[in-house]
Amino acid sequence: MTLGGLRTQCGELANLSEPFRELVTQAGIRGEVPHAVRCVVERHRVGDELHHAVLAELPLADAGDIWVSWLDSREPHEVERRVYCPVTAGPGIPCELHALHPDGHSWELAERHVTG
């Protein structure tokens, strides 16, 4: 989806409750679990598509990252390791999203600055 001709990240915010953060930590996520995450895939219609954000980076580059998914105004309900998108924009310019991401690749999207 474009905003004035510019393709942008969604930017939807998901606050992570303390019980959710504790559960993720108990499941073996290392490092600090954030209090909130923002959707990094291309801006999409509200209500009918999942939002996606990186929860934790894994130490090995080819291992992917831990991603969370959620519907609007809800806490994330999916937490899983996802490998990186294999598409590149040339040498040294990988897509930084997961392999099954919808719509545009990371280098095609401007960061959407949202408040809240």
How many domains in the chain? Answer: 1
- Is the pLDDT at 85 greater than 90? The verdict is yes
Prediction pTM value: 0.83
Inside any domain, residue 116: no
Inside any domain, residue 44: yes
Inside any domain, residue 53: yes
Instruction: List pLDDT tens digits, range 31-57.
Output: 889 999 999 999 887 777 899 999 988
Rg (CA), the chain: 14
Buried/exposed code over 28-59 (b: 16+ C-beta within 10 A; e: otherwise)? ebeeebbeebbbbbbbbeeeebbbbbbbbeee
Q: Which domain holds residue 61?
A: 2-108
Dihedrals phi, psi of 61, to nearest 5 degrees: -60, -35
Instruction: List pLDDT tens digits, range 52-79.
Output: 999 988 887 667 899 999 998 788 988 9
pLDDT of residue 102: 87
pLDDT of residue 5: 60
pLDDT of residue 21: 92
Beta carbons within 8 Å of 68's beta carbon, 6+ residues apart? 14, 37, 52, 53, 55, 76, 78, 79
Inside any domain, residue 115: no
Give the confidence band of 99 by pLDDT, cuts at 50, 70, 90.
Answer: very high
Inside any domain, residue 113: no
> What is the Cα 88 distance to its own chain's centre?
18
| Range 69-97 average pLDDT | 90
pLDDT of residue 2: 46
Inside any domain, residue 8: yes
